[in-house]
Chain A
């Protein structure tokens, strides 16, 4: 199962490496979102410093949704879903492999955005461990949710609009928990940052369990 998982993840990352969509298009666009959000707040530096955690996760939400969309467009445009059905790769391995590939891509996006808020919003990190754990937990949760909902809308004609509609309400708790944990890590809020980071891990665990059990149903044809 581990070999199959790594095989699928490697395949997705190789496709991405050749196309360079994540770093070439999505990351610059997400950085642009950080700039636009700063304009929306009248470039008020103290306000930006206070809201940096939330704004960061909003940018991740936007860029991550695009990456999830692309992760499944690649499969459906070339009829790869049929190939997966025909192959001996199990649905749980496929689910984990695609989640792992998305984890790497969203992680890279977060590195770019992290540098972005450090420079643009002038934030200082008060608790590096909390920041890293919260970012990792949020990325895992984001990836597994993304793969589940991406598969849900894959191959449908209206998937471009359907995916955000289905995905965003599910991602809002991650966004909320991530914002709170980051605010604590950045020293702008004396709150239970570790509790919020744990909540993201719980969300990730629940969706991973559902993905393990239900991903096969999403792959089946009529």
Chain B
């Protein structure tokens, strides 16, 4: 890696991501107004329905992030013989998407528990959807743990890529758990090929919230990707400096 590349990459922000960041803040602010002030309370769930505007988009974003992790992992494995930066690019993308996916799965769990306390009277039920979501969360935590292990970076990335593919099996299980098993959790509010469970202002607020959370997630993934790249550059430069100082020392002693 050249020093020019390094000097160009000392920050994670660019003009585009700054615009995206401002857009993410504005979209989140509007989502808050729509969700808390404009959208009405539900006839059955009351004010608790507002939790869904963050709960539902979060799990959709988490699914999307895990899809991105899987696709990037396949591309990484396909190009594994190449050592140049392009192969590493897919590995970084897989890692950054998985981190964001885990964060949004965590948000889904927390908001779901809060919603459950209000609606069901308890934070936790041993329900198929809740249990499979926790398993998904823990599985991807394991994936992130594997990525951070002290090992040869190529070997570690390759194993992480295989793990990403296996872990993705959990995603359809979580999503369809409400259809496959008798659960306390309600059916999906929005689903492709099925009439939405909600209508009117609630429906549009939920759709808009999904868009807003997507922008936030994209912004986070881009920055996380760049942080991973900077960490790799730092490690390479540290190693090069150590080797250089060792060589200088050996020359001095001769």
Contacts and interface: CB of A to CB of B under 8 A. Distances in A.
Q: Which 10 A-B pairs have the closest CB atoms?
A: A222-B152, A222-B154, A169-B139, A166-B142, A169-B138, A214-B162, A222-B155, A169-B135, A165-B142, A152-B159
Interface in B151-183: 151-155, 158-159, 161-163, 165-166, 169, 173
Interface in A26-46: none
19 contacts: A148-B166, A152-B159, A155-B151, A156-B151, A157-B150, A157-B151, A158-B149, A162-B146, A165-B145, A170-B166, A173-B173, A210-B166, A214-B162, A217-B77, A217-B158, A217-B162, A218-B158, A220-B158, A222-B155
Nearest to B81: A220
A170 B80 CA distance: 26
B163 A156 contact: no
Interface of B: 77, 80, 135, 138-139, 141-142, 145-146, 149-155, 158-159, 161-163, 165-166, 169, 173
A166 B165 CA distance: 13
A217 B149 CA distance: 18
Interface string A31-67: 0000000000000000000000000000000000000
Contacts, number: 63
A172 interface: yes
Given A169-B142, A170-B139, 20 more contacts: A152-B163, A156-B149, A157-B149, A157-B150, A157-B151, A165-B141, A165-B145, A166-B142, A166-B145, A166-B163, A169-B138, A173-B135, A207-B166, A214-B166, A217-B77, A217-B162, A220-B155, A221-B155, A222-B152, A222-B155
